[in-house]
Amino acid sequence: MISIYHIRSIAKYEIKTLSRSWFFRIFGILSLGILFIFNLMMQTNIENPPWDFRAIPSGIPYANLLILNVAQAIIAVFLASDFLKRDKKLDTTEVIYMRSMTNGDYVIGKTLGNLAVFFAINFAVLLIALIFNMAAQGHETDFMAYIYYFLLISLPTLMFILGASFLLMSIIRNQAITFILLLGYIALTLFYLKTKIYYLFDYMAFNIPLMKSEFVGFSNLNEILVHRGIYFFLGLGFISLTVFLLKRLPQSKGMNYISLIFGILAVGFSIGLMNSHIQRFKRDQLTRESIISLNNQYASQPFFDITRHNISLQHTGQTIEVDSKITLQNNNNSSADEIILNLNPGLEVESIRSGAGPLEYLRKQHLIIIRPGREIYPADTFQLIIKYRGNINEAFCYLDIDEETRQAKYGPNMYNIPKKHSFITSEYVLLTQETGWYPRSGVTYSTTNPHWLHRDFTKFTMDVQTNYNIVPISQGKILKKEKGWKFTPEHPLPQISLAIGHYERKTIDTNNIQFSVYYKTGHDFFSGSLPEIKDTITAIIVERFEDYQRNINLSYPFSRLNIVETPVQFASYNHIWSSGFEIVQPEIIFFPEKGILSREVDFEGQVKRFKRRSRWSDESSTDKQYQVRALNDFCNLFINEMGRPDWQRGSGRGTWQPEETLNPYFIFPTFYYFSNYIESENWPIINRIIEAYLQSSNSDDRFTWMRQFTGVSEDERANMALQNKSFSELLQDKEQKSIIDNVIKLKGEVLFSIIKTKAGQEEFDKFLYDFFNENLYRKVSFEEFNEKLYEKFNLSLDRYMDNWFSGIQMPGYLFSPIIGKNVKDGERILSMVQFKVSNLENADGIIKIRFRLSSQGGRQGRGRFSDGNGEEDNTVEKVIYLEKGQTKELSYLFDNDPRMMTIHTLTSKNIPSTITKNFPKLEDNFKIQSVEYERLTDNPVRILEENEIIIDNEDPEFSVIQPESEGLLVKLLFPPDESDADYTGFRSWRAPINWTPTTNSSFYGKYIRSASYVRSGSGDRKAIWKVPINKTAYYDVYYYIENVQQRRSKDKPKGEYQFVIHHNNGTDEPLLSLDNDQTGWSHLGSYYFSPDTAVVELTNNSESRVIVADAIKFVKQ
């Protein structure tokens, strides 16, 4: 039998032995040291610690243990596999083995000894974290989280890895092989398996979402317990099997067999848990598939509009009980005898009745198919009451979102936050329309029929009762009644939401709108953090809000704007049919717990950060200015379309690539999506397109810097995709999901920019403003919109729609050199910019030109942050419409110096799609006349003269030579980036060793301004231009040079390019010096060529860091 005494003895001396080993001591000291420094940096004011680390108190033990766990999982392998090492015939082990104890005593004692030393390190690390946590100013402490994370992260990991080490050693009996196998497995789980099969292999808990909320604790406790249970029981089983397999004559055969049976049972139980873990996801997947299939089946049915909806909800702990009184209207052209509604399949319908009594209905998954018992004719209404109760099945949500996106990591840094879409607990409730918590008309997402997009504007009222002392938040006016609350939205809405929790509120009342922040009791970390501007906060917010309304040319359709704190787990995805996330609801923006994902909410931290940055840049401002900036940044959080870029480890050799992200808190949908809707049978995406257009008037160029890393912007990738597929095809193409938003934005911009140029910018904007204001809170058909447009401007979108939706023709633009001069207009000196643009392709197109002008009084210092009011440089925008084959001459006059000009080619063959021209000081030329025009001309832009031949790197006559330089292992470990990007970013500091195509608007190119570049070297890499000439003659040879990399660095450009020119009289090796700051065609020499000899080579032998191969020009003499 097992002897506790023996186990304790063995454990005691195992602890002594391990804790005295250098290996363990070094590990212990390093772990404690590193985590001490980590906590020092993250929890004290020595550094300005990141907000995401401090926001939620449970994050502190979570992060500490994640870091420790990776280290201890590896160290445990070394220590654990040591104890069974029995390579000597007679040694110490035999002195122990011949003692009177069972094998179980021995293995359990050893295991406990091993566990104990690791636990000691864990406790020490947690203690360090806890001490910092309690001492740090403004930090809360979640004591229980320290215990939970230890039990969830460290315990199962150690059990598993110890068990696996013991078992492998018992079977293989070779320490080296055991190490290789186990360390290999660890590396595999860390770098390859990661989240595969729903984190099944994630024994270190590095990927499984474990974040704990202060609202609801662990929202996925079942999933976590099952997952961690897998490894705990697997470890337990392995240890039991080790008892059985121990190479020592058993003292008690019975015990040995018991350990075998227990081992098998524990491993079996763990496999059962694995299965249950996987099935949980598979089951959801099946539910989703069957829901979509049902939707497909019913999507073509006529749907009713719900005009009124009175919801009476009772919150009863883990469930809700609802009486839903609905008024439906048949707005179709034909009568119907079936009403189709949808409701979350987790909610069970108890009864449906009309005034006349109970109604017959059929429940299929989420669908409720009701037979009203009579025909409902067009324009008829029908009332019914549905009683239902239950909980939310989240498999029903986000049916359009693919599995990969749904499984993707969510959370800052190392944190993994579980994604939840609804909450119903006794202390907290959060329900949005995506969960289908109240009956809605029609079906949900269908893959075959866009009719499902059906929307209605409903006059809601809602009564809420909850047994708990918690506060509900929803749309509309709130009335506290004797029992519960009543919400009455002032206008019909497409959706309502409900949050119930321990909320407190802070409110700013302005004339039109009431701004409120609802936060969990105890979560007021923000009040008083902007002391210098506390009297002007309201004014700044109102000003920013009004500015934004002006920018998007829409007014806010509601009288409240509430920011409501939600549990950290509340996550949402972007649907293709709206720019908004579920986070944004009418009147409400749900904001994650303590704003963990946005450092902008950490006002004090932001101010410190600004101050520190200003110390580096020698700019200094007052505290007040910093605080204004912090508040402005917070406001920007809601009015920026794009979020912070997501830095992903690219597959390309350990480089990091930024990826554009949408800003989920973007407030724009509250201005349009929840108050207007344009419905179209033929082009259902039109509402989204209008939304994209309205939104684009405020879009910014913040992401242009990303091309530097990615090589191609997402807009350009959208353009590349549009060259092969029509818009309608792309909308169906799941492969293109990452750029579909860019496609929609570009297409929307083009469609409406065309109308805008024809109708006149201001007139069109006014038309839209009035139209949407007149049609607030109702849906309008596309035909009605089009008629109004026709009435006003004699213009119809019909003409453009088919081609716009289904055509794949694209314009392509050629530009003449852009010339800027100072000219005189009477006594005034003006700046004049002139150039010519041609669209020689077979499709109409539009370009946007934006001039950035210096502020009044000429050039000023380029303060990156200006004065902190978000005031930008003065910009002027021009939109030019070019029909197919047209060329326009453009001349513009400005009072101030233009600093920079950018041409956006929108949807076109041009890459880069943004051409940038910087203007150094303009030259004076007072002789020429000052003129301003946009006029058609018959002379298209010529890129080639009669006697010229140009070979660009895009041409088939261009090729490169490079030796195979990578070993098989490198290729296997770092497979070449096979992403859809044809071009990569330009990295002069880490240039590629092989010729790599890249783009830049200052390179040469017809539509694609690209070049190939390579790191300088020994001359083993060559770029070759074979020039197809017709006539033997003397030619001047030019090279198009653009010192991209030198321009970026402060050093003087150095080095030279080494060419080899093969001509009739042999070869010549001219050098092109990079010392002078030239751009454009540089003369290499004049040579006599015949058709078969004209070859120019450029080698990578140079002192310059980077060699760029672009274009060669031959000019016949």
Partner 1 sequence: MEITIENLGKTYRNGNHALKEVNLIIENGMFGLLGPNGAGKSTLMRILVTLMKPSTGQAKVNQLDLIKNRKEIRAMMGYLPQDFRFFSKLRTSEFLDYAARLSGMKNRRDRNIAVEKMLEEVGLFEARDRKASKLSGGMKRRLGIAQALINEPKIIIIDEPTTGLDPEERIRFRNLLSTMSTKDIIIILSTHIVGDISSTCNQMALLNRGELVFSGPPDSLIQQTKGHVWLVQANEKDYLELNKRYPVVSSVPVEGGWEIQVVADKLNGFKAKKIDPNLEHAYIYYMENKLETRETIQAL
Q: Which one, 10 or 750, has the nearer CB to partner 1?
A: 10
For the residues of 3-24, what is the DSSP string, one character each? -HHHHHHHHHHHHHHHHTSHHH
Instruction: Please pick, from the candidates 26, 29, 91, 549, the single residue that binds partner 1 as defined by CB under 8 A.
Output: 91
251 binds partner 1 (CB under 8 A): yes
- Residue span binding partner 1 (CB under 8 A) among the ranges 206-214, 246-254, 857-865, 940-948: 246-254
97 binds partner 1 (CB under 8 A): yes
8 Å CB contact between 715 and 740: no
- Residue span binding partner 1 (CB under 8 A) among the ranges 7-15, 656-664, 715-723, 763-771: 7-15
29 binds partner 1 (CB under 8 A): no
* Residue 107, both tokens: 């293995």
Distance CA(200)–CA(197), nearest Å, equals: 6
Q: How far is the CB of 169 from partner 1 (least distance, A)?
A: 18
Q: How far is the CB of 120 from partner 1 (least distance, A)?
A: 16
8 Å CB contact between 1013 and 991: yes
6 binds partner 1 (CB under 8 A): yes
116 binds partner 1 (CB under 8 A): no
Q: Which one, 96 or 135, has the nearer CB to partner 1?
A: 96
Instruction: Please pick, from the candidates 44, 48, 174, 252, the single residue that binds partner 1 as defined by CB under 8 A.
Output: 252
* Count of beta carbons in the 10 Å neighbourhood of residue 1114: 22
The distance of Cα 940 from the centroid of its chain, to the nearest Å, equals 42
Distance CA(997)–CA(958), nearest Å, equals: 12
Size of the site for partner 1 (CB under 8 A): 28
Pick the closest to residue 15 from 155, 151, 110 (CA basis).
Answer: 110
8 Å CB contact between 1085 and 1053: no
100 binds partner 1 (CB under 8 A): yes
Distance CA(960)–CA(419), nearest Å, equals: 48
Q: How far is the CB of 415 from partner 1 (least distance, A)?
A: 39
Instruction: Please pick, from the candidates 13, 123, 800, 865, the single residue that binds partner 1 as defined by CB under 8 A.
Output: 13
Q: How far is the CB of 5 from partner 1 (least distance, A)?
A: 6
Q: How far is the CB of 4 from partner 1 (least distance, A)?
A: 11
SS3 (DSSP) at 599: helix
26 binds partner 1 (CB under 8 A): no
25 binds partner 1 (CB under 8 A): no
The distance of Cα 981 from the centroid of its chain, to the nearest Å, equals 18
For the residues of 318-350, what is the DSSP string, one character each? TEEEEEEEEEEE--SSS-BS-EEEE--TTEEEE
* Count of beta carbons in the 10 Å neighbourhood of residue 832: 22
Pick the closest to residue 307 from 322, 327, 324, 293 (CA basis).
Answer: 327
- Residue span binding partner 1 (CB under 8 A) among the ranges 8-16, 515-523, 909-917, 1052-1060: 8-16
1030 binds partner 1 (CB under 8 A): no
Q: How far is the CB of 247 from partner 1 (least distance, A)?
A: 10
Instruction: Please pick, from the candidates 151, 177, 249, 408, the single residue that binds partner 1 as defined by CB under 8 A.
Output: 249
Instruction: Please pick, from the candidates 87, 88, 724, 762, the single residue that binds partner 1 as defined by CB under 8 A.
Output: 88
173 binds partner 1 (CB under 8 A): no
8 Å CB contact between 390 and 320: yes
Instruction: Please pick, from the candidates 89, 864, 990, 1052, the single residue that binds partner 1 as defined by CB under 8 A.
Output: 89
- Residue span binding partner 1 (CB under 8 A) among the ranges 94-102, 383-391, 1021-1029, 1073-1081: 94-102
The distance of Cα 42 from the centroid of its chain, to the nearest Å, equals 25
- Residue span binding partner 1 (CB under 8 A) among the ranges 92-100, 184-192, 389-397, 1083-1091: 92-100
Q: How far is the CB of 263 from partner 1 (least distance, A)?
A: 21
- Residue span binding partner 1 (CB under 8 A) among the ranges 86-94, 502-510, 583-591, 1008-1016: 86-94
Q: Which one, 106 or 581, has the nearer CB to partner 1?
A: 106
What sign does the dihedral 755-756-758-762 (CA atoms) show? Answer: positive
Does 912 sit behind a cis peptide bond, omega within 30 degrees of 0 on the bond before it?
yes
- Residue span binding partner 1 (CB under 8 A) among the ranges 84-92, 180-188, 298-306, 556-564: 84-92
Contact pattern for partner 1 over residues 601 through 620, marking x by CB under 8 A: --------------------
Instruction: Please pick, from the candidates 26, 37, 94, 682, the single residue that binds partner 1 as defined by CB under 8 A.
Output: 94
For the residues of 183-200, what is the DSSP string, one character each? HHHHHHIIIIITTHHHHT
| 285-288: long-range contacts, CB 8 A cutoff, minimum separation 24 | 285/395, 285/403, 287/345, 287/365, 287/393, 287/395, 287/396, 288/395, 288/396, 288/399
User: Residues 389 to 418: which contact partner 1 by CB under 8 A?
Assistant: none
Q: Can you give 98-160 as a three-state secondary structure string?
A: CCCCCHHHHHHHHHHHHHHHHHHHHHHHHHHHHHHHHHCCCCCCCHHHHHHHHHHHHHHHHHH
What is the residue whose two structure tokens read 């849906």? 779
75 binds partner 1 (CB under 8 A): no
Distance CA(147)–CA(900), nearest Å, equals: 58
Instruction: Please pick, from the candidates 17, 553, 697, 726, the single residue that binds partner 1 as defined by CB under 8 A.
Output: 17
Q: Which one, 3 or 141, has the nearer CB to partner 1?
A: 3
Q: How far is the CB of 251 from partner 1 (least distance, A)?
A: 5
Q: Give the interface with partner 1 as residue ranges (CB under 8 A).
A: 5-6, 9-10, 12-13, 16-17, 20-21, 88-92, 94-101, 248-252
